[in-house]
Amino acid sequence: MIKGLVSGISETDEKQQKQPIATDNVSINVSINVSINVSINEKIIDIITQMPAITVKELAKTLSVTERTIYRQIEILKTENKIERVGSNKTGYWKIN
């Protein structure tokens, strides 16, 4: 009976050792997402430098991402004071700071 309990415990230990730890996945995903966001932000700035009157829709199409992604990244760039919108959404343009 004790032998059966010991083998049951060792099987449980082996299963626990084989399972990935959640923090490993989180750190990998965070670093991947951060590097992707940085490269998208750099691309947005590069495109805006060349075409200041570009729209969010055009940026999304050019970078093959959703408009929501562009809006999110533009908000980040605005809070970092890297870009600003001058004029209206329809007739305005982007200014790089």
Q: pLDDT tens digits for 54-66?
A: 999 999 999 999 9
Instruction: Give dist(CA 86, CA 97) in Å, integer.
Output: 12
Q: Can you give the pTM of this predicted structure?
A: 0.62
Residue 39 binned pLDDT confidence (cut-offs 50, 70, 90) = confident
Q: Where are the domains of the chain?
A: 2-96
Rounded to an integer, what distance in angstroms lies between the CA atom of residue 16 and that of residue 59? Answer: 46
Tokens of 18: 């084989």
Q: What is the pLDDT of residues 6-33, one digit of tens each?
A: 555 555 555 555 555 555 555 555 555 5
Q: Which CATH number fits domain 2-96: 1.20.140.10, 3.30.70.1060, 3.30.460.80, 1.10.10.10?
A: 1.10.10.10
Q: What is the mean pLDDT of residues 29-58?
A: 81
Q: Which of 55, 43, 40, 38 is nearest to 92 (CA)?
A: 55
Angle between helices 67-79 and 22-50 (to 10 degrees): 80
**pLDDT at 79 > cutoff 90:** yes
